[in-house]
Amino acid sequence: MASTNTPRLGLFKPTPGTSEPFRIDDLNDNWDKIEAEAVAVDGRLDSIEALNTTQNSRLTALESVDTNYDTRLDNLEAADVALDGRLDTLEGQNLNTRLTAAEALNVTQTSRLDGIDTLNTTQNSRLTAIETLNTTQDGRLTSVENRTTAVEGVNTTQNSRLDAIETLNTTQNNRLTAVEGVNTTQNSRLDTLEGQNLNARLTTAEGEIDAIQALNVTQDSRLTALENVDTNYDTRLDNLEAADVAPDGRLDTLEGQNLNTRLTTAEGEIDAIQSLNAGQETRLSALESVDTNYDTRLDNLESADVALDGRLDTLEGQNLNSRLTTAEGNITSLQSADVALDGRLDTIEGQNLNTRLTALEGTIDGGTP
């Protein structure tokens, strides 16, 4: 006589051809082991299903947060592109060169006005001398009139150009104010992102997943150990053989429990759980990939922010406000000089030079030799 035991549950199996009997106690013991295994499997499935439900909820929450992060990063990148374009526009306006040219022009204008002052002094002396000197008077007066007209034309042109500079300065000030506002907003939004501690939270989540995996390994080892336990089997078999049980009733009960169907259902649930675990693994991999993409995009944003800061430092270093203030002061001085020049021209016109020259010409042409 000979018998064997199944490797997992240790079910009793008579070896065919050895005359080993299949006792009712052996049958009962086999069904007890099957029932105990079914109960254990059902409990493990309940635990796995609860864990999977929790993991699915947490993954759904992570994916929702991930979508929100993606939208906010897209908005940050769009705002960064807009800022970069606006700074390109500011730099393309060549403000520093144009202000330098305006400053150089102011110096030139001051020198020319000084020359005009000197010229006016000379002209007054020459006009006084006209009353006694008739030679070349007409040609010299024509020259004075032409030069005065040229000065008026230059003043008109300068006034228009200064108006344009003032308008441009107002526009630039408004645009720089807008840039500063956007920069403040970006700084606040980056502070918010940094405060969310994403890296630490993902590290925690990874640690929890590792702990779950380790727990699964441990549980599998414990289940294997339970399946391999062989303590007191001989004693229990002896007791079962001596026991007066009602095998038919118990078999009816076991058959009514529909163990085969329940095990089939359990196997299907296990397959579903394994499939769900595979899906969760894919979703975790996708989240890790997205996290890497976020890190790259944040690095790019930080680099762009440093570049923007450098370009703003360059603009600030050009001292636009002080130079525009200086230009405005020079414009005011030019306007005052213009008023003074206009008054002096009024004085010259009030000297009635044409009438006096006509009288001199009459004296020359019709006077007594």
**What is the block-wise mean pLDDT of the chain (369 residues), using blocks of 10 residues?**
89 88 90 94 94 93 90 91 88 83 85 84 76 67 72 81 84 80 77 74 72 75 62 57 60 69 78 84 84 85 86 83 84 85 86 82 65
Shared domain check, 53 and 2: yes
- 114 occurs within a structural domain: yes
CA dihedral of 252, 254, 255, 256, whole degrees rounded to 10: 80
The number of domains in the chain is 2
Domain match, 47 and 99 both: no
Instruction: Please check whether residue 336 lies inside any domain of the structure.
Output: yes
For 231, the 3-state DSSP assignment is coil
Q: Which pLDDT score, from 0 to 100, does residue 246 have? A: 58
Q: Which domain holds residue 341?
A: 95-120+289-347
Whether 229 is covered by a domain: the verdict is no
Residue 322, domain member (yes or no): yes
Task: Note the pLDDT of residue 369.
Answer: 45
167 lies in some domain: no
Position 244 scores a pLDDT of: 46
pLDDT at 19: 86
67 C-beta neighbours (distance < 10 Å), count: 11
Which residues, 6 or more positions from 353, have their beta carbon under 8 angstroms from its beta carbon?
Answer: 127, 130, 141
For residue 238, what are the contacts with CB-CB under 8 A and spacing of at least 6?
A: none
In a domain, 4, yes or no: yes
Q: What is the pLDDT of residue 214?
A: 81
For residue 102, being part of any structural domain is answered with yes
State pTM to two decimals: 0.39
Q: Is residue 228 part of a domain?
A: no
Question: In the prediction, which pLDDT does 261 show?
Answer: 78
Burial class (CB in 10 A: 0-12, 13-18, 19+), 126: middle
DSSP state, 136?
Answer: T
